[in-house]
Structure 1
Amino acid sequence: MNTEFDNARTQVLVGDKPEMVSVASMSAEALAGDERESSTVSLHSHGRTPTDNASSASSSLTKPSLGMVLQLGLMVAASIGLAFFLIKYITHLESLGNWGYLGVAAVEFGNSAMLAIPTPSYAYTFAMGSILNPFAIGAIGGVFAMLGELIGYYLGHRGSAILPDSPRVEQFKSWTSRWGAVILFGFALLPVPFDIAGIWAGAAHYPLVRFIPVVALGKAIKVTMIALAGYFGMDALIDMAVGFG
């Protein structure tokens, strides 16, 4: 009697077990389906999809900054004004002799270190190019300009810890690892504000051993070109200034 009862109870428990497992599986699938549906509704309720978010992040990275444009405009205006001033007092600059190289080092370092504040370093470098060796100016100016950019790199590196995890930040780091040297060299070579590039490289933890030579080379080429422009073009500018006077 007891044996039959135990067998019956065992059969009931064993028979019920698949049903219980089946019910649990159905419940898990239902919950997963509800979560997927909720995620889809949330995305479409804002009128955006994951692809739209990625596209938005990419476009925001490539959009030019108004502050960068204004900074470039102020720098050009200040350089033009100082150029005419230096032309008027070019004889005083000639009396500096080799001390002019120290001035180049100072203005190039200051121009790179003064974040978001334009300085008329190009005008001074242009004027000194007509007096000193343009290639020596380029070498000295390139090294000190790179040293000034280390300030922005350091600030970006220290501030990277507070960057939020987002598609924009991940895209930014991906571009840095793939195109970092090309972008940094381009910013260093062209007469555009480099501040954002230095901070950006530091925030993305771009290797300093690669940052230094790339930026120094780009800066040296740019400073040399400005000095050569002064070497070959100062006389024409003096004639132009005399004509305006």
Structure 2
Amino acid sequence: MEEKQKQSLREQLKTVKWGSLLLTFGALIALSFLLAWGLNSLVDSLDIPLDEYAWLTYLLVFVMSILANATVIAPVPFAISIMVAAATNFNPVLVALFGALGGSLGEMSGYFAGRLGKKLAIPEGLVGYNRVEIWIQKYGAWAIAFLAAQPIVPFDVGGLIAGLARMPVHKFLPALFLGKFPKYIILIYAGIGLMDWLPFLKA
């Protein structure tokens, strides 16, 4: 049975246009940094006293991260761009913290969708589904943390499978946070570094 799953996965992977996938990923990252630059420039042009609105900024990061991660099979770059823009004026670690908390809660949409059943929640022919299912069955929460930490493949499949497997919420959520928090820190500092390194991106 496992050999048939491996063969099916290999056949599916052959149909994937990896060039298009990498191009799309690069475009999403570029869009995230561009949006971050635009938001940062807008704040600077309005001359807003940011110190008075720190709590509102962290709340915005939290809410936007929930909304961005609540979509199923739809990567959204806007939450990252808001985090990068916020981190240029506030504590990057706190921004990543609120982003990871919101993102973890947002992923619960996929988790509960998984509880509706395999045929309803999982799109037919979804590439890599069998492999991710094997990982989660074998490694449990550690597989969830890994899937949440990597920035290329959308996490939604992991949430759907965790829901189908009835993984306890008290294991699912901490594993999500464990993966998302360091990922957001890296992406935020990378975004800040890029904006400082490229003169034409400076506000």
TM-score (normalised: structure 2): 0.73
Paired with 2:183 and 2:97, the residues of 1 have a C-alpha distance of 10
> Per-residue deviation at 1:161?
7.3
Query: Is 1:182–2:142 an aligned residue pair?
Result: yes
Q: Which ranges of structure 1 fall in alignment gaps of 5 or more residues?
A: 1-49
Aligned to 2:90: 132
Query: Is 1:106–2:82 an aligned residue pair?
Result: no
Aligned to 2:125: none
Deviations 1:96-154, CA, capped at 9 Å, x for gaps: 43311111112211110122332421111111111111111122111110000000010
Paired with 1:173 and 1:145, the residues of 2 have a C-alpha distance of 22
Q: Percent identical across equivalent pairs?
A: 25
Larger radius of gyration: 1
Q: Is the 8 A contact 1:189 1:219 kept in 2?
A: yes
Aligned to 1:59: 10
Query: Is 1:145–2:103 an aligned residue pair?
Result: yes
Aligned to 2:179: 218
Q: Is the 8 A contact 1:129 1:230 kept in 2?
A: no
Q: Is the 8 A contact 1:156 1:202 kept in 2?
A: yes
Structure-to-structure mapping, 1:3-18, within 5 angstroms: none
Equivalences, count: 189
**Aligned with 1:102: secondary structure?**
helix
> Per-residue deviation at 1:58?
4.9
Match of 1:216, as an amino acid? Answer: F
Paired with 1:202 and 1:64, the residues of 2 have a C-alpha distance of 27
> Per-residue deviation at 1:90?
4.0
Paired with 1:61 and 1:179, the residues of 2 have a C-alpha distance of 23
Match of 2:108, as an amino acid? Answer: L
Aligned to 2:155: 194
Q: Is the 8 A contact 2:5 2:130 kept in 1?
A: no
Aligned to 1:84: 37
* More helix as a share of residues: 1
CA pair 66-114 structure 1, distance change in 2 beyond 3 A: farther
TM-score (normalised: structure 1): 0.62
Name whichever of 183-192 and 223-232 sits farther off.
223-232
Q: Is the 8 A contact 2:129 2:157 kept in 1?
A: no
Paired with 2:142 and 2:92, the residues of 1 have a C-alpha distance of 25
Paired with 1:143 and 1:64, the residues of 2 have a C-alpha distance of 36
CA pair 150-71 structure 1, distance change in 2 beyond 3 A: farther
Paired with 1:206 and 1:225, the residues of 2 have a C-alpha distance of 28
Name whichever of 169-178 and 135-144 sits farther off.
169-178
Paired with 2:170 and 2:12, the residues of 1 have a C-alpha distance of 25
Paired with 1:232 and 1:170, the residues of 2 have a C-alpha distance of 38
Q: Is the 8 A contact 2:9 2:130 kept in 1?
A: no
CA pair 187-65 structure 1, distance change in 2 beyond 3 A: farther
Paired with 2:85 and 2:69, the residues of 1 have a C-alpha distance of 19
Q: Which ranges of structure 2 fall in alignment gaps of 5 or more residues?
A: 122-127
CA pair 57-240 structure 1, distance change in 2 beyond 3 A: same
Q: Is the 8 A contact 2:57 2:86 kept in 1?
A: yes
